[in-house]
Structure 1
């Protein structure tokens, strides 16, 4: 029986260089491809991801390992409210298990564009265990409180075509609390 060579330590994602940054419009196609590979995330159009990367770059995060996009958080400040809405968190199968989702969320809440946010909001379907785990872990990590309630309902909002989305609300720490945690 022939043994396959073991991957070198430098080939593992943990050993390669991670970079978090604001997206550029030229990232739209790569972001779209990443989201397509991250079931059960809803696929938006490539144009939607391009607009997010261009118009909302200050409230979105791209994660790269060795120049390849392996993570994405899209978000925006809700108009006239001190709330940051996170639309999607995508982590490539090649970068899972590194805590990348939580790392990108922590990067995002420390940005100047999110400085007035007192709460992070997102919607999650009841059966999306990975998202619930991510946001519960994130809330614990920052010392925030997590609450949820049905928001966009299956029959009232989705004509029975999509499961109810629960609005998750996480209280965000103050700048002083964040500085102490760092």
Structure 2
């Protein structure tokens, strides 16, 4: 395991980060892997609602992708979270999520977070449960998409985690 640099930088992704984000997602072995093209588009079109953690050389070692829901402008939907295996266990995913929500609370008035998690993904369950606790926010869960809705028939259900409202300290 690599030691986390004290000066780990968290900022917005750029198109040049797209390939690295795709590799991080692929190497996670838990995320639904989208096409490499989609990560390039994400870094172009949704950079403002996403975050990347960079090592001392500027290379991405983790990311959170998300978007503000068009019909609920105070809600951030977190799409994917991934951290390089060499950097896991140091709270980087939590730091990314906290930094992103603080930025979006200040810039866009975000007060709620949503994400979906497949049953048994304990790392994500812990990440978002602890996020709700850190931010003194209510957490509810409900099935968003049952297995039968997926055309390939092999996808686990997606459970929607609804977190909020975030405490005022998150929003300022």
TM-score by length of 1: 0.86
Instruction: Please say if residues 117 and 161 of structure 2, whose CA atoms lie closer than 8 Å, have aligned partners that are also in contact.
Output: yes
Shift of 1:115: 3.0
Whole-angstrom CA distance in 2 between matches of 1:151 and 1:34? 26
Change (3 A) 1:161 1:170: same
Instruction: Please say if residues 142 and 173 of structure 1, whose CA atoms lie closer than 8 Å, have aligned partners that are also in contact.
Output: yes
Whole-angstrom CA distance in 1 between matches of 2:121 and 2:87? 19
Where relative contact order (Cα < 8 A, 6+ residues apart) is larger, the structure is 2
Q: 1:107 maps to which residue? A: 99
Whole-angstrom CA distance in 2 between matches of 1:53 and 1:47? 10
Whole-angstrom CA distance in 1 between matches of 2:156 and 2:104? 34
Whole-angstrom CA distance in 2 between matches of 1:150 and 1:158? 17
Instruction: Please say if residues 144 and 172 of structure 1, whose CA atoms lie closer than 8 Å, have aligned partners that are also in contact.
Output: yes
Are 1:92 and 2:87 an aligned pair? Answer: no
Q: 1:125 maps to which residue? A: 118
Whole-angstrom CA distance in 2 between matches of 1:148 and 1:179? 23
Shift of 1:172: 3.6
Q: 1:8 maps to which residue? A: none
Tell me how large the CA RMSD over aligned residues is: 1.9
SS at match of 1:161: coil
Instruction: Please say if residues 16 and 65 of structure 1, whose CA atoms lie closer than 8 Å, have aligned partners that are also in contact.
Output: no
Q: 2:13 maps to which residue? A: 23
Whole-angstrom CA distance in 1 between matches of 2:159 and 2:96? 22
**What does residue range 37-116 of structure 1 map to in structure 2 within 5 Å?**
37-66=27-56, 67-81=58-72, 82-112=74-104, 115-116=108-109
SS at match of 2:89: coil
Give aligned pairs, total. 169
Please list the CA deviations of residues 94-140 of structure 1 after superposition, one character each: whole Å capped at 9, or x if unmatched.
Answer: 11111111110111111247632221000001111110011111111
Higher CA-based Rg = 1
TM-score by length of 2: 0.90
Whole-angstrom CA distance in 2 between matches of 1:158 and 1:118? 33
